Amino acid sequence: MNNKVFLDILKIDILYGNPNIASRYLKNKKKYKNIFKNMFLNILLFQPMLMIVSYLLLFFMYDLKQNPEMFNFIYIFFMFLGLSSGFMVTYNIFYNSDDIEIYKYLPIDVTEILKSKTLTILLNIFGHIIPVIPLGILFYLKNNFNIFEIIIYPILIYSASLLFLTGILIAIISLLIKSLFFKKIQKFFIGFMNIFTLILIFGFIFGIQFYSRELSNFSIADKGIFSTIFLNPLYTLLIVCLLSVTGIFLYLKSINEISKTYFKDNNIIRNITNKKHYKNKLSFFTKYHLDLVFKDSATITSALVTSFIFPISFSFSFFRNIDKLREFSLVAIINVALLFAVAQYSNFTNLSSIIISLEKENFNYIKALPINLFNYIIKKLFFSVFISAIFPLVFIFGVFLYFKFNLIHIFIGGILYIIFSLSFSIHSIIFDYKNFRSDWRNVNELFSRVSKIWQFLAILCISVVIIVFVASMIFASIFKNYILIPYFIIAVISLLISYFRMNKFRKSLEK
């Protein structure tokens, strides 16, 4: 193997997986001449050390000796998280990479390309399952193992898990490359994987916050299968060997299959995915924009999924005191609705802030057409708000109905969420129009248009909403529902400001 060629390909794959870093590097290569050295140090040293220390502090509060089911729950969670997030990277590298056509005509051995892509996948999983090490350290420490075992067993378990997940992912992608059915449903499948990852994260947060002995349902033995195995040194070494050998076997067998058909099948993939299969009664506008949004997994993750993690996890922390929430249900629901809207739209990392730039060069052609551009942008605005509102409204209605809150209060909360979302999204779509970009390669590059000052203000804005949330729940017993009057005043003012700004924007387009 040509080490220099391999290293160059690896750099390309790493940049492809980190578009924001790639953008800075391409703009100023002199300034970022040590970028790859710094990235490897961060990936392999600094970030792992920081995560190990952070998770040691987090897991230290749990007695993993008395409650071994907690060990099983956390270990299983991070294995599934590594698998789901690793699949997204695997999919992007093998399916969405734009380097295949270039490599075909270069004197490069296909095995070097595949090994580089595999290593990129392994580096991605490396960070996602690093909490297995502090989990193992505390598990063996609580169970009175000696210092050597406390250090070496967690590292062995982590390494074996890493090899196993890598082998599984390569085997999955090998099967999918041969599957014509997957080529037809890949957009839906990628959307499903993003949602699955989100559900995993929420499940972990919910499980940690509402931890009880019922988590032992994850186990199939008295102490749980993994905690039972890892308490026995012989069983530990056997499972480490089994995971490692299985991972390596799956990798070698699958990578051989991929190398035989990789280039040919990528051509098939491109030919199939370039064809449109619209057999429905949706309007052309709706079909066109659904394709814009859901053709890229990064768009789904960054614009539709990531912004929900914080408000949902924060809201769950309040459900511990469910009786107080029911007593002041309208206050609680409206606070949750406001938190969702602010978290989604404050930092310009929402669908409305990229809905124009997603069209790339097509938007320049649309501007030249004899159509009402303002009406077209308004339709894009309502489309983006509708798509973005699906998950929050499902959460607001689903969770509060589950806890038997007042239905009228839930409707009021949902309406206020829509009002705030429409008001905030107007500023986002105007921002996108004024900062339109057609030369982006990954949707994350569009989010980098926001200045650091605004990012700080966005964090400050969310912090203020959290303080208001907590304060309103504390003082609700004194002021009752009258405490919500400022919310409705702010909603009206926000709508008026957004209306006047949109009207000014309309006039600027008509000139």
What are 428-465's pLDDT values in tens digits? 899 989 888 887 766 767 777 777 677 777 778 878 88
224-242 core/surface letters (b: 16 or more CB in 10 A; e: else): bebbbbbbeeeebeebbee
67 conformational bin, left if phi > 0, alpha if psi -120 to 50, beta if neither = beta
Identify which has the larger pLDDT, 385 or 42: 385
Q: Which two tokens stand for residue 70?
A: 């907690």
Residues in the chain: 511
Identify which has the larger pLDDT, 459 or 190: 459
Encode pLDDT of 307-355 as tens digits.
666 677 667 666 666 776 777 888 888 888 888 888 888 777 788 888 8
Q: Span 469-486, mean pLDDT?
A: 80
Please tell me the predicted confidence (pLDDT) of residue 221. Answer: 39
Q: Span 106-119, mean pLDDT?
A: 71
- Domain presence at residue 328: yes
pLDDT exceeds 50 at position 216? no
Q: Which two tokens stand for residue 205?
A: 């947060």
Question: Can you tell me the distance from the alpha carbon of 361 to that of 505, in angstroms, rounded to the nearest whole number?
Answer: 22
348 conformational bin, left if phi > 0, alpha if psi -120 to 50, beta if neither = left
Please tell me the predicted confidence (pLDDT) of residue 158. Answer: 92
205 and 305 belong to one structural domain: no
Please tell me the predicted confidence (pLDDT) of residue 137. Answer: 92
Please tell me the predicted confidence (pLDDT) of residue 276. Answer: 42
User: Model pTM?
Assistant: 0.56
Question: Can you tell me the distance from the alpha carbon of 71 to that of 140, in angstroms, rounded to the nearest whole number?
Answer: 11
**What range defines the domain where residue 502 resides?**
284-510
Please tell me the predicted confidence (pLDDT) of residue 430. Answer: 92
**Domain boundary residue among 241, 273, 305?**
273
249 and 302 belong to one structural domain: no
249 and 294 belong to one structural domain: no
Identify which has the larger pLDDT, 389 or 184: 389
Q: Span 50-77, mean pLDDT?
A: 81
- Domain presence at residue 318: yes
306 and 198 belong to one structural domain: no
Please tell me the predicted confidence (pLDDT) of residue 219. Answer: 41
Please tell me the predicted confidence (pLDDT) of residue 242. Answer: 92
231 and 305 belong to one structural domain: no
Could you tell me which residues come within 8 angstroms of residue 223 by beta carbon, excluding any fewer than 6 positions away?
68, 69, 231
Q: How does the average pLDDT of the chain come out, rounded?
A: 76
Identify which has the larger pLDDT, 206 or 508: 508
pLDDT exceeds 60 at position 262? no
Of the pLDDT bands very low, low, confident and very high (cuts 50, 70, 90), residue 187 is: low
Please tell me the predicted confidence (pLDDT) of residue 157. Answer: 93
Give the burial class of 418: count Cβ atoms within 10 A of its Cβ; 0-12 exposed, 13-18 middle, 19 or more buried: middle
Q: Span 407-415, mean pLDDT?
A: 90
Q: How many domains does the chain have?
A: 2
Q: Which two tokens stand for residue 177?
A: 């490359």
Question: Can you tell me the distance from the alpha carbon of 270 to that of 274, in angstroms, rounded to the nearest whole number?
Answer: 6
pLDDT exceeds 90 at position 241? yes
Please tell me the predicted confidence (pLDDT) of residue 411. Answer: 92
**Domain boundary residue among 273, 297, 320?**
273
Could you tell me which residues come within 8 angstroms of residue 447 by beta carbon, excluding any fewer than 6 positions away?
302, 348, 349, 353, 354
pLDDT exceeds 60 at position 370? yes
**Domain boundary residue among 240, 273, 306?**
273
Identify which has the larger pLDDT, 214 or 306: 306
pLDDT exceeds 70 at position 23? no
Q: Quick one: CA dihedral 237, 243, 246, 248, positive or negative?
A: negative
Beta strand extents in 363-475 (DSSP E only) = none
Encode pLDDT of 266-311 as tens digits.
444 444 334 444 444 557 787 777 777 766 655 666 666 666 666 7
Question: Can you tell me the distance from the alpha carbon of 114 to that of 170, in angstroms, rounded to the nearest whole number?
Answer: 10
- Domain presence at residue 487: yes
- Domain presence at residue 278: no
Question: Can you tell me the distance from the alpha carbon of 147 to that of 153, in angstroms, rounded to the nearest whole number?
Answer: 10
- Domain presence at residue 468: yes
Identify which has the larger pLDDT, 9 or 359: 359
101 and 230 belong to one structural domain: yes
Measured in Å, how far apart are the chain's first and last C-alpha atoms? 62
- Domain presence at residue 353: yes
Give the burial class of 457: count Cβ atoms within 10 A of its Cβ; 0-12 exposed, 13-18 middle, 19 or more buried: middle
Please tell me the predicted confidence (pLDDT) of residue 229. Answer: 85
- Domain presence at residue 14: yes
Question: Can you tell me the distance from the alpha carbon of 55 to that of 128, in angstroms, rounded to the nearest whole number?
Answer: 12
- Domain presence at residue 279: no
